[in-house]
Structure 1
């Protein structure tokens, strides 16, 4: 642990801590007025987010300092981690079957309520999938040649497909898209010919486009009452359907417009006062843009992208396939979540309920992302220690 502390990568640690701290401030600011109006203490969600941050830091420290990196390469550990995440996803389907709408939140059964905290299995599944794919692809490094690519990819492809199927049944289209992106990126970076990965990506993109096109043109009656369908139509016609689901996007536009370049001041947002639904979750960036301005929001996004680049740097200089793939997988999680969240806030992508990493309210996302950052710092420290030992050996020889 002492050696790892001496080889900390502060280019990853500092942005992570700043983002978490900013998230606590924004959750408090975005939620305080609504809580006060409804008779609750205005600091309730801010305090909860701070508690989540403390728990997340313990998860971060465990993955960064107390767990040996070799543990993540062991078959039993990978199998248990993946098995638990799959079981939790399957349990959600059981909840959906037996409890139905009673267990649903915003039209989806995506959480397991433990009273003290609600667990979102999808967040655990993202990290489990990254570790599993890194483990499997590292073991098959060099074997992805023409003629045997399909045979080598069948097992991880089928397992990933089952995981995505469990998520889409919730239904969670955003989560399914994130898992699919993780698979495609990690496959393409593991030695699979770029042509194959690109064709796969293009095929999925075309399929999704035509599926959305058919749904919009067909406009089936049995889907019109669906929460997810209403979100899709609200994305296409936000102002026309403002009273039927378009309010989030419309008020997001108002918030960004009100904030201008420099914002109306921290805590002074108007849209968070009952106009923008749940402003402390997936639309927290709109409130941030209103309060600290477009420039402030861009600085926050810049910090996120700096964190991603710092993680990628560790992956690019990694000495093993496993280390590199874990770094690229974690970067993919953060990037896709940021892309879907910002796209939804700006009306460029459908609203899928994907939160802004480290900023939005929620314990599961923050804890798992913090553990992911801890794992990357574990890798970075081990890489630095290894290079230091190699240089010492060269000097002695």
Structure 2
């Protein structure tokens, strides 16, 4: 059997219609098939490859760590330089009150840890989240997701979860003295790139302070330079109590984190001790790759280039079938009339060598989230293919 048959026969499938594109290697913004096919990756593996595929600095860091050690011990027991140097580098990107990093394996686990931390520190049980939020697919992270279609088959989920609309200030009154935390994406991803204005976030921060509620911001998709600042919340003039990140953090390696102040994070140490346990969290190879990723973003000024590159996409992607373009930096959503209009456009673009996608909770909009390393010439190349696909739709 060939690889495609093995994929379909033995690898667990998540839909009946996977893309099933066979990839042999990847570099920069490109993926390559076994017969020389070349694809522009306009979605960065869903927000992961912020510094491109196989960035030389990331590969060098991985190779150097392979010469030293792999897994040694469950998280938090041994002093391992990849973990400590990464935690320091992350904290240096953040306001001083966010000075403790708990390294985990993924965005879902980061959300799980953040929820547990909020409950433990506050001694409260109610959690608020937002309509059409996406925070992951494990039971806890699914519980605070905001789309019932994805939750219905797995109920009962966590109790004490309430959902409010995103970006509507009047609903912040639902945050009360009984609320342990509100978890919110700084920019909603799977809702189709939805964002709120600074006044909303100021009111959110104020309401949390009034009620003693912890504010958890989810920057799993929006962090690590994606929106034009290292963290998306920097543009809104607030600081969360707990921050979660993953995806673009690892340069292609699996890693995530939840971050808080030392006092808040310290509540996981007692009653009970080992309040969150992870065997592979902060794996030294992933941690080394993540540190290199931060250095690349900073030294190559990738976040500073985002606004110009996003503006070029907007300038080039003009067509009567495009109803709107929502974006925060290089988190972009091109809105079409319907999924039935959009799907053939995506299929044709892929057949012509440009990979894009739609959003879980917004299937009339095209996802554009390329590696931050994409050049102006590569943007023009990709946009030409997309415009051709749009023009020849139907």
- The answer to whether TM tops 0.5 is no
Which structure: greater helix fraction? 1
- When normalised by structure 1's length, the TM-score is 0.29
Structure with more relative contact order (C-alpha pairs < 8 Å, separation 6 or more) = 1
Q: Highest Rg: 1 or 2?
A: 1
